[in-house]
A and B are shown apart, each in its own frame.
Chain A
Amino acid sequence: MYYEPRVHVMPQGSSSPSRMAIVARRLGFSGIIVMGINGSGDLQGLDAAYRIGGISVARGVEVASKDPRSLKGRISSLRDRYPFLAVHATSEPVLREALDDPRVDLVLNAGFRLTVPEARSARRNQVALAIDLQPMIRLRGVSRSRWLDLQRYNVRVARKFGIPLMITASPRSHLDLRAPRDMIAMAHILGISREEALDALRLPGRILEMNQRRWASPGVEVLETGQNEERGI
């Protein structure tokens, strides 16, 4: 039920996909999404991870781009190849563009306060906002308190505008993984209630499931022949 939506494996991280999968299973996750950056190259050892029972391993792609125009191009070329697409927003124009694109599943905000128009477009396009707990684990003191302040603000905005959230620990090593209950406890410090945190942990699985179905247009699903019925969301 619970997913860790942003796992980096070797060579960006220091653990193999199968090690991540085994540790995540032990911690109580039912799936992980292994991220490649800009879809470059094949990740090593994914086949070994697929063989591990009791946990589903999905492939995702993280788009990192400096300007909005190249972002659009990358999203178009990568969207159909991966069931999960995230954008790492390293600048405000990229953040705005990513929140304005319904093909994006998840936006990683690298430290900007969400503005009202950004929040409106995220709501309209159902783009999820990632709450990355890694700074909470890494930072101490003033920098962490500043980060906490920013995240609390963004959580408040997300709640007000109904933007979906996802919680991730952004693991690059199996030592960075955190159990769902620990993540809920950490999210509580950011002002995320238990129910909201549970929804946030379940959301990646729901989105993966939706993306694996075939949609003719928003709200119209292509079903197999013989099942001639239209199904709305």
Chain B
Amino acid sequence: MVFELESEGHLDARDISIEIQSSYLSLFGDSGGASPRLISFDGRFGIVRCRNGYVEELRASLASIHTIAGFRAAIWVRGVSGTIKTATEKYIPQSSIKPEEHRRRVDLKGISGVIVSTRGHEIDVSPDDHIEGLDTRYLGLTYFDLEGGCDYADGTSDGV
């Protein structure tokens, strides 16, 4: 099973493996039969193996993960396949996540902060003021929210 991970901080394979195990155990207990095992993780996409016939159980337990090692995170299942080879070929694309180096700023009505990372049209912004009642560190925006729509400040295309 290939999954895609998005998180607010840097996570390594060990954190994710522990969280997958504990989430599965918490939901299905010791008698659950999927015996999930993390095969690989490259920073965004990962492969997790489970026993045949327990795919839906594993899917539910991956979906119920909300925090990994203290960072808000989400795991979205991209696809399921019988072998690791086809899983890799079919579901893991060339990822294009860019950490923001120039520390561009965003100043909109009610929101101001520093851009943390961009991916395609998506932007994560670290807000200047802490927002009450939210459990995320960053705000999720897109280029569409910025003035004048889709602008590529550095002149290159961030295209998906």
Complex CA gap A188/B54 in Å reads 13
* Contact flags A31-60 to B (C-beta < 8 A → 1, else 0): 000000000000011001101100000000
Q: Specify which of B7, B60, B144 is in contact with A51 (CB 8 Å cutoff).
A: B144
**Which residues of chain B from 86 to 122 have a CB within 8 Å of any chain A CB?**
108-111, 120-122
B66 within 8 A of A: yes
The answer, yes or no, to whether B84 is at the interface (CB within 8 Å) is: no
Other-chain contact of A182, B6, B59, B123 (Cβ < 8 Å) = B59
Which size bracket describes the interface of B in this complex? 35 or more
**From residue A16, how far is it (CB to closest CB) to chain B in Å?**
5
In the complex, are the beta carbons of A14 and B110 less than 8 A apart? no
B142 contacts partner chain A, Cβ-Cβ < 8 Å: yes
Does B69 make an interface contact (CB < 8 A)?
A: no
Report if B70 contacts A (CB, 8 A). no
The answer to whether B63 touches A175 (Cβ under 8 A) is no
Please determine whether A185 and B59 come into contact, CB atoms closer than 8 angstroms: yes
- A16/B66 contact (C-beta < 8 A), A175-B73, A182-B59, A186-B60 known: no
Q: Write the chain B residue with the least CB distance to A138.
A: B66
Contact pick for A185, options B56, B72, B110, B122, CB 8 Å:
B56
Q: How far is the CA of A185 from the CA of B8 in the complex (A)?
A: 25
B141 at the interface (CB under 8 A from A): yes
Q: A14-B136, A51-B144, A177-B74 are in contact. List 4 more A-B contacts (CB 8 A).
A: A14-B131, A16-B141, A172-B134, A182-B76
A-B complex: 10 closest residue pairs judged by Cβ atoms: A15-B140, A48-B144, A182-B63, A19-B140, A185-B59, A175-B74, A185-B60, A18-B142, A18-B144, A14-B136
B interface list, Cβ under 8 A from A = 6-8, 26-27, 56-57, 59-60, 62-66, 72-74, 76-77, 108-111, 120-123, 131, 134-136, 138-142, 144-145, 149
